[in-house]
Amino acid sequence: MPKTNTKDSAEFVKPATPPLLPADSEDSQLTLLLKAYLRPEDIFQIWAAYRYSATAHEGQMRKSGEPYIMHPVSVACILAELHMDTPTIIAGLLHDVVEDTGTTQHEIAQIFGKQVANLVDGVSKLDKIEFQSATEAQAENFRKMLLAMSQDVRVILVKLADRLHNMSTLEIMAAEKQRRIARETLEIYAPIANRLGLNTIYQSLEDLSFKFLYPMRFRVISKAVKAARGNRKEVISKILDDIKQRLKTEHIDAEVSGREKHLYSIYKKMIGKTVTFSQIHDIYGFRVVVKDFSTCYVALGVLHGLYKPIPGKFKDYIAIPKANGYQSLHTTLFGPFGTPIEVQIRSKEMHNVADAGVAAHWLYKASDAHLTALQQQTHKWLQRLLDIQSESTDSLEFLEHFKVDLFPDEVYVFTPKGRILALPKGASAVDFAYAVHTDIGNRCVAVKVNHELAPLRTELHNGDHVEIITAIHAKPNPAWLNYVISGKARAHIRHYLKSMQSSESAELGERMLNQALRALHANPADIEEERWTKLLRDYNVTSKEEILTDIGLGQRLNVLVAHQLLALREDHDKSTNKALGIITIRGSEGMAVNFSKCCRPIPGDPILGFINKDKGLVIHTHDCPAIRKFRVDPEKWLDVEWEPDSKSLFKVNLKLAAANQPGMLAKIAAGIAAAGSNIDNVSMEESDNSAYTNMQFTVEVENRAHLAALMRHLRKIPDVVRINRAKGASIERRRKGR
């Protein structure tokens, strides 16, 4: 992309529109751009691709009324401005031929090579596959494109050029479609451009999206920026002259220019800080480009001598670059007339990367070490996409994790060995653990932040020294999903939990199926393999475990599966669940069996089981009010009973009334511990200066006998006036209301 003109930088950048003449003519804009950096033989190949594309799209028109070929030529122009290589330019010209014409990928590979064909395929939509919804289709298309990008980053460069031109011609679309495309661009494509360091494309996509999402706000801020530009003209000129003169006096060779914040950036600042336009003072800033790395810091000292720096407003992105490779010194100074001004100081190489990001490799053909480091960072990010994809079971989940991974703000923390890790802003210690290695994340049990023990949910900040403590038998906790931020962490935790739930549900499903078979006077061990094979074919599944998992999750009825395995009619023995026998509950089934929080059943309580889709078997007490509506429909419940010698611990809610005096909570906690129980949660009602206070405890007990012993022990405390087992629903509501 061309450098942003200072006078017009408040406007979004419009991609070049080629004149209405063949792109392969000597005077066309595409040809002029290509001649600036490509060899004649390369340009000849691109002309051939243009003619092929023009023939394929012949007769097709855009909604604006212009020939369709104008769009791929405009995309090629944007790529040429980035000095992309020949295969990428050709892919830009051909990116729609597979999707919109009868051309196949095989034909493109034969004529232009496999490399071009793969680039075109990465950008093309999956229109040959039927999806359940438009959202699912969109998510799967994103997944396909992003996975192609992880193999070759040029795929996304073609797609970004395609999206930039489409956004610049969006006026012709209906308002609803404008908003949908603009929101998609703002949530996906602009952040990708930012992540790859394509600053000009990133800002253009944001401003174009802003224009169509909030047209009135766009016009108001645009008008205000133009007015401010005129009002501050004299101040800006004075600052520019002062900076240039001082640097010249100190014998520093530098290019000094003014720059305006782009419109969407101004809007985000107004919303984020809840301020008006007139309260934003850094709409106009200054950029100083010097020859090399060391001169950046010399120039910083000179400018701090010219204007006083504002404390806490200095950022060194040279020592610690952003994840997209951006490097620069940022400082905010008190300018003349008390106006705060922001100055960016960088070297020429840093300026190249800041403007073009990963495309700087093609744009400048430099052997700069920083470009190599940027490519390595980009490669790591793309590899992280592959990790997320491998742990995501469907496209919508992958897209969700990917959006999370596009956080623009980051924190930088140190590993015990001094390595710097960049994490999304708001990341927790668990995010850090997964960023180090998946096994570290799966086995983490504690963390030291700045050499002090801290909870795993601790939010990390810039400069924190983080050390993860692991245990061999540790495993991910579902509660981690409430505070992890990074896409990688969320994907790995969800994948592990789904795997665990699947195996536990399969075990429960097998027990339920065996009970059903025995109730039908059949021995489970006598079921021939041929019957299972036929059942797999009838259900269109690949393994026996899938059927058992579905039974455990309540997605298939065990009695129906049992009937089909025995080749009996479905209407045979209508007693169904009544004839199924009793399911034994051990309390160690994991996620396949859930104990309801509304009644918190424990061994010794009469219980019933309900099959709930996705949750598996849910256990309630026999008299739980929440199951009254199900009792009238026996098809929905199963008879269950406790295993006699269960050694598991179960949570139960207790409500106590005790004297409102110092040390009371400690006495009760000591009493609970003395009874061999553990406190899982405690809450108290706010004091109203009365003599007594109500406390709610969630404690762990083995069974009703253990609970009775615990309650007797607590009643012996003189200041405890009342104690009873409480229904969990009321306590849950109180916790959420706090």
- 297 in the same domain as 348: yes
More confident residue, 339 or 613: 339
- 563 in the same domain as 617: yes
In this structure, are residues 116 and 90 in contact, taking their beta carbons and an 8 Å threshold?
yes
Q: Is residue 363 part of a domain?
A: no
Residue 130 has a pLDDT of 42
Residue-wise pLDDT for 190-218, tens only, equals: 888 887 888 889 999 999 999 999 999 99
Domain boundary among 213, 242, 271: 213
The domain containing residue 574 runs over which residues?
A: 494-642
Catalytic residues: 99-100
- 227 in the same domain as 321: yes
- 728 in the same domain as 700: yes
CATH of the domain at 260: 3.30.460.10
Beta bridge partners of 593: 617
| CA dihedral sign, ordered 441, 443, 448, 450 | negative
CATH of the domain at 678: 3.30.70.260
More confident residue, 143 or 579: 143
Domain boundary among 447, 463, 485: 485
CATH of the domain at 161: 1.10.3210.10
Q: Which residues, 6 or more positions from 738, have their beta carbon under 8 angstroms from its beta carbon?
A: 683
- 229 in the same domain as 315: yes
Residue-wise pLDDT for 19-63, tens only, equals: 444 665 666 788 888 988 889 999 999 999 999 999 999 989 988
Q: Is residue 365 part of a domain?
A: no
- The secondary element (H helix, E strand) that includes residue 350 is helix 348-356
Domain boundary among 642, 674, 698: 642
Q: Is residue 1 part of a domain?
A: no
- The secondary element (H helix, E strand) that includes residue 272 is helix 263-273
Question: Sorting pLDDT into bands at 50, 70 and 90, what band is 105?
Answer: confident
CA distance 387 to 159: 22
For residue 406, which of 308, 284, 324 has the smallest C-alpha distance? 324
Residue 558 has a pLDDT of 77
Please state at what angle helix 369-391 crosses helix 348-356, rounded to 10 degrees: 30
Q: Is residue 230 part of a domain?
A: yes
- 678 in the same domain as 582: no
Residue 731 has a pLDDT of 45
Residue 149 has a pLDDT of 67
- 198 in the same domain as 133: yes
- 524 in the same domain as 478: no
- 300 in the same domain as 383: no
Q: Which residues, 6 or more positions from 90, have their beta carbon under 8 angstroms from its beta carbon?
A: 45, 46, 49, 112, 116
Q: Is residue 362 part of a domain?
A: no
Q: Is residue 364 part of a domain?
A: no
For residue 328, which of 375, 386, 369, 287 has the smallest C-alpha distance? 287
Q: Poorest-confidence range of 85-94, 138-147, 565-574?
A: 565-574
Residue 274 has a pLDDT of 83
Q: Is residue 369 part of a domain?
A: no
- 527 in the same domain as 500: yes
Q: Is residue 366 part of a domain?
A: no
Residue 144 has a pLDDT of 65
Q: Which residues, 6 or more positions from 419, have their beta carbon under 8 angstroms from its beta carbon?
A: none
Q: Based on the structure, what is the number of domains in the chain?
A: 5
SS3 sequence of 587-643? CCCHHHEEECCCCCCCCCCCEEEEEECCCEEEEEECCCHHHHHHHCCHHHEEEEEEC
Residue-wise pLDDT for 516-527, tens only, equals: 788 777 888 888
Q: Is the pLDDT of residue 734 over 90?
A: no
- 511 in the same domain as 448: no
- 201 in the same domain as 279: no
